[in-house]
Amino acid sequence: MELLIKNGTIITASESYVGDIAVDSGKIVCIGTGLSIEADRVVDAAGKLVLPGAIDAHTHLAMPFGGTVSADGYLSGTKAAACGGVTTVFDYPMQRKGKGILETVEARKALCDPEACVDYAFHCIITDLNEDTLLDEFEAAVEYGITSFKCFLVYKKEGMMVDDGTLVKVLLKAKEAGAITNIHAENPDLIDLNIETFKKEGKTSPWYHYLSRPEFVEAEADKRAVHWAKSVDAPLYIVHMADKEGLEAAIAAKLEGYDIYVETCPQYLEFTCDVYKREDGRNFVCSPPMKGQESKDALWAAVQNGTIDTVATDHCPFQSYEKDWGKDDFTKIPNGCAGVENLYPYMLSAANEGKITFNRAVELCSTNPAKIFGCAGKGSLTVGKDADIVIYDPTKDFTISVSNMHSDYDHTIWEGKTVHGYPVQTYLRGKLVYDNGEFVGEPGYGQYVKRIPKK
């Protein structure tokens, strides 16, 4: 046997119990109590929690965006993931004009493969739905293990947005192929109108980033996407939900029985739009922006009552000098913040503080993303699954600082935040990749996760 983790409190989405986990050939082969099995490595996890590795279903690594490229590439981004207890990341390759889905994904896979320190999967962003070729490619992409596609309902000038007709075609085609459509919901015309007005009035501080994309800008697009998904009865996954009105529309459709899923991110649970009034407000500029207290409260309520399905990060950091491009003009700030290393500690800390259960934290950060996106070997501590395991010390406090993170960025919106409890070890398919503050894995050990379609 490769590994035996003994006496830990094993947490799944539905149960918590003290037990032992035996691992061989990268898989969980046995779970029990008092297992007396010889193993190359025996870990005493008494007093610790033993959790399935988290799946960050939303990252942008080495993403060309905002006139630059996001600061974490596949190496540093996946290293940081491992150190935060994330054993699978989803990245978003972007299909561009005239390009196919498979060639887009394969190009990113070639970059990721030698560097990945954790397992990885791709949602492919569709920006140019060429009727002659691309529509035929959905089946082939699903065959390749890409069972989710993404549409931006915003970023029109950047050439990334799709119109409603294209969205509906993608929804239908994805459904037919057994895949799901992810959407980023904001209304570009409203944003442009607001920006034009603010610029004329000389209102250019980061606070106007929020005011150009307030609650109703997101809610309109959320509701439109929900409307189309309902109309054609196709599965829909709304990424980084940040506003109450859109959240309520998505939950209502879900409760009516539609295949609609909602993701939110730690930044929307922690901060409000007030951060844009701070001196370093530009560092918090991401889209959608953080919203008001009412939205934050609604998101927490949905995290607590089970109507939000996943928490992921939208990890897309930029360096301070790049954020500074927008010091005097918020429209020049590259959009995005860091988060992949903070996701699991943040949600588990919420559990430690009693806001949610540890089981719910596991469900949101691991079990549900595995189920929604067809990662058959991931998301749970059960026999036969990959041995993606986090050992967590619920008594260890940790104050987040850029100096104790493992990414390539030079600042973090999480600076100074103390979380209660912290991962002490991360195993990826049975191999130790993170040990008490240190990355101990190997670039290239991370593998592509070929996903299973829903049909």
Q: How far is the CB of 9 from ligand DUC (least distance, A)?
A: 36
- Name beta bridge partners: 256: none
Residue among 181, 204, 310, 335 that touches ligand DUC (CB under 6 A): 335
Among left, alpha and beta (phi > 0; psi -120 to 50; other), residue 66 is left
Partner from ligand DUC, Zn ion, none binding residue 308, C-beta < 5-8 Å depending on class: none
> Is 2 or 314 the residue whose CB approaches Zn ion more closely?
314
Q: How far is the CB of 195 from Zn ion (least distance, A)?
A: 18
> Is 58 or 378 the residue whose CB approaches ligand DUC more closely?
58
Phi, psi torsion values for 51, nearest 5 degrees: -125, 155
Q: How far is the CB of 89 from ligand DUC (least distance, A)?
A: 14
Partner from ligand DUC, Zn ion, none binding residue 335, C-beta < 5-8 Å depending on class: ligand DUC
Compute CA distances 335 → 192, 215, 253, whole Å. 16, 17, 30
Q: How far is the CB of 309 from Zn ion (least distance, A)?
A: 16
Closest CA to 343 of 74, 14, 87: 87
> Is 261 or 434 the residue whose CB approaches Zn ion more closely?
261
> Is 175 or 209 the residue whose CB approaches ligand DUC more closely?
209
Q: Which amino acid is residue 1, in one-letter code?
A: M
Report which residue's Cβ sits closest to Zn ion.
Answer: 184
Q: Confirm or reject binding of residue 316 to ligand DUC (CB under 6 A).
A: yes
Q: How far is the CB of 240 from Zn ion (least distance, A)?
A: 6
Closest CA to 57 of 314, 363, 278: 314
- Residues near Zn ion (CB under 5 A), total: 2
Partner from Zn ion, ligand DUC, none binding residue 336, C-beta < 5-8 Å depending on class: ligand DUC
Phi, psi torsion values for 277, nearest 5 degrees: -90, -10
Q: How far is the CB of 66 from ligand DUC (least distance, A)?
A: 8
Tell which positions 317-356 bind Zn ion, by CB under 5 A.
none
> Is 290 or 351 the residue whose CB approaches ligand DUC more closely?
290
Site string for ligand DUC, 284-303 (x = CB under 6 A): --xx----------------
Q: How far is the CB of 263 from ligand DUC (least distance, A)?
A: 12
Q: How far is the CB of 261 from ligand DUC (least distance, A)?
A: 17
Q: Confirm or reject binding of residue 184 to Zn ion (CB under 5 A).
A: yes
Q: How far is the CB of 288 from Zn ion (least distance, A)?
A: 7
- Residue whose token pair is 């929900």: 226
Distance CA 74, CA 48 (A): 30
> Is 239 or 351 the residue whose CB approaches Zn ion more closely?
239
Q: Confirm or reject binding of residue 266 to ligand DUC (CB under 6 A).
A: no
- Residues near ligand DUC (CB under 6 A), total: 9
Residue among 6, 48, 58, 60 that touches ligand DUC (CB under 6 A): 60
Site string for ligand DUC, 170-199 (x = CB under 6 A): --------------x---------------
> Is 237 or 422 the residue whose CB approaches Zn ion more closely?
237
Residue among 8, 26, 206, 336 that touches ligand DUC (CB under 6 A): 336
> Is 66 or 423 the residue whose CB approaches ligand DUC more closely?
66
What's the per-residue H, E or C state across the chain? CCEEEEEEEEECCCCEEEEEEEEECCEEEEEECCCCCCCCEEEECCCCEEEECEEEEEECCCCEECCEECCCCHHHHHHHHHHCCEEEEEECCECCCCCCHHHHHHHHHHHHCCCCCCEEEECEECCCCCCCCHHHHHHHHHHHCCCEEEEECCCCCCCCECCHHHHHHHHHHHHHHCCEEEEECCCHHHHHHHHHHHHHCCCCCCHHHHHHCCHHHHHHHHHHHHHHHHHCCCCEEECCCCCHHHHHHHHHHHHCCCCEEEEECHHHHHCCHHHHHCCCHHHHCCCCCCCCHHHHHHHHHHHHHCCCCEECCCECCCCHHHHHHHCCCHHHCCCCECCCCCHHHHHHHHHHCCCCCHHHHHHHHHHHHHHHCCCCCCCCCCCCCECCEEEEEEEEEEECCHHHCCCCCCCCCCCCCEEEEEEEEEEECCEEEEECCEECCCCCCCCECCCCCCC
> Is 286 or 347 the residue whose CB approaches ligand DUC more closely?
286
Q: How far is the CB of 262 from ligand DUC (least distance, A)?
A: 16
Q: Confirm or reject binding of residue 314 to Zn ion (CB under 5 A).
A: yes
> Is 134 or 161 the residue whose CB approaches ligand DUC more closely?
161
Residues at the interface with Zn ion (CB under 5 A): 184, 314
Residues that bind ligand DUC (CB under 6 A): 60, 65, 184, 286-287, 314, 316, 335-336
